[in-house]
Each structure stands twice: as C-alpha cells, then as structure tokens.
Amino acid sequence: MFNFRCLESEEYTATNIVSKFCIEPLNKGQSITIGNALRRTLLSSIKGNAIVGVRIFGISHEFSTLPDVKEDVLEILLNLKQIVFTGNIQERIIARLIFRGPGIITAKDIQLDKGLICVDPNQYIASVHSSNNNIEMEFLIEQGVGYSLSEKRPSNTLDDFLSVDAVFMPVQKVNFFVETFTPTFEVISPAKINSSPEMESLILEVQTNGSITPTQAVSDASNILETMFSSLKISDSKPDNYFINESLKIDKPIDVNDTLIEELELSVRAFNCLKRANINTIGELLKYSPEELLEFKNFGKKSADEVIESLSKRFNLYLNSK
C-alpha cells in the first residue's frame, strides 16, 4: 500500500488553490508511470461547469455594442469565460441576470439554481454608466470535460444564444517530480533479495480553479484510472482469445441519410455554406460532386478540400464524381 499525504496547501485566491502531495514508497520507475497517468487524467478528464452560450437581450451577434456599457459584447463574452461554477448538474441549465445601472456587473448578479454556486462572486463582467439602461442576459451552463471551442459546437444546438468557448477544466496546472531515498529498514523476502534498496517518492503539485479541491481532484483522477484499468481484469477461466469488449467486434452500419453534417466537425465557414445550401445530412452532401460544391456562394476550394478530407477520415466516404 502507498502512503498518500498532503505536504502543504494554500488558497491564494478563491479561484487559485495549490496543494503539494507525496506518494511513497514506490519501486524504481513506478513514480514516472503513476505521475504521468495522474497528470494527464487530472488535466483532461475531471468534470467541470462552464457557460457555453449567452443571450443578451437586444443583441443579435457578438460584434455588437450595448448603449452606456463600457465593454463591447466580445469583451463581455471573454469576461464570462472567467466565471467558475461549482456544483453537480446533470443537464444543461439556464441562469439569468437582470441589472439596472449605473454600476458594475459581477458574477454575484447571476441568478443561479439551487446547488450551483459561483466560486468568485466578485468576478467582473461589465460596467454600466447610465441609470436608464437595463441589462438582461441568459446563460446556458453545462457540465463537461476539457476545453470546448465555440466554433466546433453546432450552432443549431444553441438557438439564438451566442456561443462561448467553454473551459470545463477545474484543474489548471499539474507538476510532478521524483525523489529517491533508501529505507531505514527493510523486511527481507525472496522477492527483495535481488532488488535495488533505493525507493522513490512521487511529489505531485496540483492547482485548481476553486470549484474542486486538489485533494478531491486527485481522488477523482484515481477513480477514473481504476475504472479504466478494471476493464482489463480477466479471470483465469477466460480463454487467451477472449475479447473484453464484445461490442467492438461489430462494425455498426452508419445511416448517412440520418447523420447530420455536424458530425463532420467542419469549420464555421464550410458548415454555414452547406447549411445555406440546405444540406443538413451527409446523405444529402454525397449527392454533390466537388465541382458542384464550388458553385455554392462563398464556398471555395479550401472548404471543398476540408469536406472531402473529413468524409474520408471520419466515415470512409467520398463525394459523387461527375
């Protein structure tokens, strides 16, 4: 069994908590293996909450400005990306903000559902100069992992909301290094006679955004790794050619007539051009040749090459040649 202990922990701000942990004793080489696995899992697989869409009443696109507001809409969207929420939500929720100026709009002005809390209520959003201007906003908040680019998110899933780059990652930074030591005493066993007397300590530094503590983050990462590796456990009664995931044996047929073009993960320009041409599914797209795609408005050769490459790589499909 490993000894896991916290060496130090400090909360610099509400959205910046740093802790240092020690895991020991480890055999030589184990620290690198465990450290790499924990680091990658902490940075990529821990769930967090973020704003994915914003509706600002009276605004139709992100390049607009609000009367008597210091920031333009783009600056407001960037400020909203910095808001950190804590709480367990199972599905996308809508939060609202109504502000009557003048004054400074901060995260505390957002009306949140029970169970969802803003980590830093003082997070700045915008400044309103006039008492004649009321600011009304609605936010789509959901749970996810990693970093979600707004341009990669299908626009039809947000209705008339402005899409926002979502930073779900509660763990901001992870470092680790290895220290070696010689045990003061060792129980001699046949397995230990020829082994090196040197042991290792894994020192792990974890920084979170305050929505989760570093200790909880490490615990969650360990549970994720345990679940992943538990699927590799095979009883002695299973034959050598036993296939763990039987579902992987079957290549499920793809119905291209029902598969939306969103699955191609195209750039915004190419995606919008196809939508304007009333092409909504891959089946509809396959009726066209590369030459015919170039006839669409604002659809250039670069977009056509992108469509051809995505069809080939993701679905092993090709456009109709004429």
Q: Residue 279: which CATH number? A: 1.10.150.20
Both 288 and 305 in one domain: the answer is yes
Same domain, 120 and 184: no
**Angle (CA) 299 152 38, round 5°:** 145
Domain holding 93: CATH number?
2.170.120.12
Residue whose token pair is 């039987």: 246
Q: Are 19 and 213 in contact (CB under 8 A)?
A: yes
Q: Judge if 78 and 56 occupy the same domain.
A: yes
Nearest alpha-carbon partner for 172 in 12, 26, 284? 12
Q: Hey, is 181 helix, strand or coil?
A: strand
pLDDT classification of 253: cutoffs 50, 70, 90:
low
The average pLDDT across 26-45 equals 92
Whether the predicted pLDDT of 137 surpasses 90: yes
Between 39-43, 249-253, 265-269, the lowest mean confidence (pLDDT) is in 249-253
pLDDT band for position 249 (cuts 50, 70, 90):
very low
124 plus 176 within the same structural domain: no
Specify the higher pLDDT residue, 188 or 316.
Answer: 316
Place of tokens 């030589």: 28
pLDDT of residue 182: 83
Residue 240 lies in a domain: no
Q: How far apart are CA 313 and CA 128, in angstroms?
A: 49
- In terms of average pLDDT, the best of 219-223, 262-266, 314-318 is 219-223
The pLDDT value recorded for residue 248 is 43
User: Residue 96: what pLDDT?
Assistant: 94
Convert the pLDDT of each residue in 78-125 to its tens digit: 999 999 999 988 888 999 999 987 999 999 999 988 788 999 999 999
Reported confidence tier of residue 157, pLDDT bands at 50, 70, 90: low
- Among the candidates 119, 149, 167, a domain finishes at 167
Question: How much is the average pLDDT of 47-76?
Answer: 90
Q: If you average pLDDT over residues 220-232, what whole number do you get?
A: 88
Domain co-membership, 124 together with 52 = yes
Mean pLDDT of 259-287: 83
Domain membership of residue 59 (yes or no) is yes
User: For 201-211, what is each residue's pLDDT tens digit?
Assistant: 999 999 999 99
- Do 105 and 180 reside in the same domain of the chain? no
- Please, which pLDDT band fits residue 190 given cuts at 50, 70 and 90? very low
DSSP 102-170: SEEEEGGGEEPPTT-EES-TT-EEEEE--TT-EEEEEEEEEEESSEE-GGGS-GGGSTTSEE--EE--S
Domain boundary among 133, 167, 201: 167
Q: What is the pLDDT of residue 301?
A: 85
Q: What percentage of the chain exceeds 70 in pLDDT?
A: 86
What's the whole-number average pLDDT of the chain?
84
Please list, residue by residue across 282-317, b when 16 or more beta carbons sit within 10 angstroms of its beta carbon and e when fewer do: beebbebebeebeebeebeeebbebbeebbeeeeeb
| Per-residue model confidence (pLDDT) at position 76 | 93
Name the band, by pLDDT with cuts 50, 70 and 90, for residue 187: very low
In this prediction, what percent of the chain has a pLDDT beyond 90?
41
Average pLDDT in the 133-162 region? 81
Integer-rounded Cα Rg, in Å, for the chain is 26
- We report the CATH number of the domain holding residue 176 as 3.30.1360.10
Mean pLDDT of all residues in 121-131: 91
Q: Where residue 36 falls among pLDDT bands split at 50, 70, 90?
A: very high
Q: Which of 175, 169, 167, 179 is nearest to 217 (CA)?
A: 169
Does 145 share its domain with 60?
Answer: yes
> Is the model's pLDDT at 296 over the cut of 60?
yes
Range of the domain at 293: 261-315
Residues 74, 146, single domain; the answer is yes
| Three-state SS annotation for 224-243 | HHHHHHHCCCCCCCCCCCCC
Contact 16, 200 (CB under 8 A): no
Statement: residue 262 has pLDDT above 60: yes
Q: Which helix (H) or strand (E) holds 78?
A: helix 73-81
Alpha carbon 123 to its chain centroid, in Å, reads 21
191 pLDDT exceeds 80? no
- Cβ(79)–Cβ(126) below 8 Å: yes
For residues 114 and 155, state if they share a domain: yes
Tell which residue, 201, 207, 165, has the closest CA to residue 182. 201
What domain count does the chain have? 3
Tell whether 281 is covered by a domain: yes
Mean pLDDT of 36-46: 93
